[in-house]
Structure 1
Amino acid sequence: MSIVIEQLVEARLVADAPRMPSIPATLHYDRRDPFAVRMTFPAPATLEDVEVCWTFARDLLAAGLCAPDGYGDVRVRPYGPDRTMLEFHAPEGTAVVHVCSDDVRRFLTATGALVPAGQEHRHLDLDQDLAELMRDAC
């Protein structure tokens, strides 16, 4: 069984323009980092023309499907019956995108099959993580 799940999603950038442009994005989950998901936007879709990757809690993504959640750099909330809104806050500004809620649910179902919610701790290698921290500190 694979330890990584990647799913392409179509994100719609919320902007002042009348039509929201579509942005390809990738949701990414790795069993070796079981609490986190990443959402990556390709270089052509960003202001700096470099790939941008946001990492946040899988629980945040799941909770944000049903009710507003998040207080930090990433916030997630439902937007109508079939969309989910993600806000990414950075010093340069805020990006807001809509994604299809069914795509998010499909992604979370796949991650749950790989690592069930509440069982993330069983997939951590604390000895290796501590060794890496100690090596980086020297």
Structure 2
Amino acid sequence: MSVVEQYARAHIVTDADLPQEGDEAVPVVLRYDPANDPGSVRIRLPDSPEWTFSRSLLEQGLRVPAGSGEVRVWPCGRVQAVVEFHSAEGVCVVQFETKALLRFLRRTYMATPVGTRETSAGTHETSADSRETSVG
């Protein structure tokens, strides 16, 4: 199992009428560490803490609006997706190209397929109810 790290560009969405710094694409790091937490993905934005949430939430949110805890994900048209992060400081809304998130998800499933978990011996075991993933 290896760590999956992918760099992407995203737009920070603001509600301001005038052009803002957020209008330009910013670098974002998408990260998956199956040895640490095979069910979670991480997103690190510039000047922001790293957000950790379930890999299945990201996948579901690319098809239909989904949310859990402080994170919401939903499709935005045919080629974009929005990820919304809630914190004590406020809300951060980030718009991604869907293909970048799909590419990242595919790579995470190659590292640790759905229904596979690491056993205490460090080997992999596939659960009886594992299913095909619907990632593009």
Q: How many residues align?
A: 116
> Whole-Å Cα distance in 2 between the matches of residues 35 and 79 of structure 1?
24
| Structure 1 residue matching 2:113: 3-state secondary structure | coil
Residue deviations 1:39-66, cap 9 Å, x none? 00123xxxxxxx4200000000000000
Residue deviations 1:55-80, cap 9 Å, x none? 00000000000000014200000001
Residue 114 of structure 2 corresponds to 117
For the pair 1:11 / 2:10, whether they are aligned, the reply is yes
TM-score (normalizing by structure 2): 0.79
TM-score (normalizing by structure 1): 0.78
Quote the sequence identity (%): 40
Give the gaps of 5 or more residues in structure 1: 44-50, 127-138
**Aligned residue among 19, 24, 28 for 1:25:** 28
- Hey, which of these two has a bigger chunk of strand by percent? 2
Residue 43 of structure 2 corresponds to 39
Residue deviations 1:95-127, cap 9 Å, x none? 0010010000000001111101122xx22649x
- Hey, which of these two has a bigger chunk of helix by percent? 1
- Which aligned segments of 4 or more residues in structure 1 are displaced greater than 3 angstroms? none
Distance verdict in 2 for CA 1:74–1:97, change over 3 Å: same
Residue 136 of structure 1 corresponds to none
Residue 69 of structure 2 corresponds to 72
> Whole-Å Cα distance in 2 between the matches of residues 85 and 124 of structure 1?
34
> Whole-Å Cα distance in 2 between the matches of residues 124 and 58 of structure 1?
20
Alignment root-mean-square deviation, CA: 1.7
Give the gaps of 5 or more residues in structure 2: 122-136
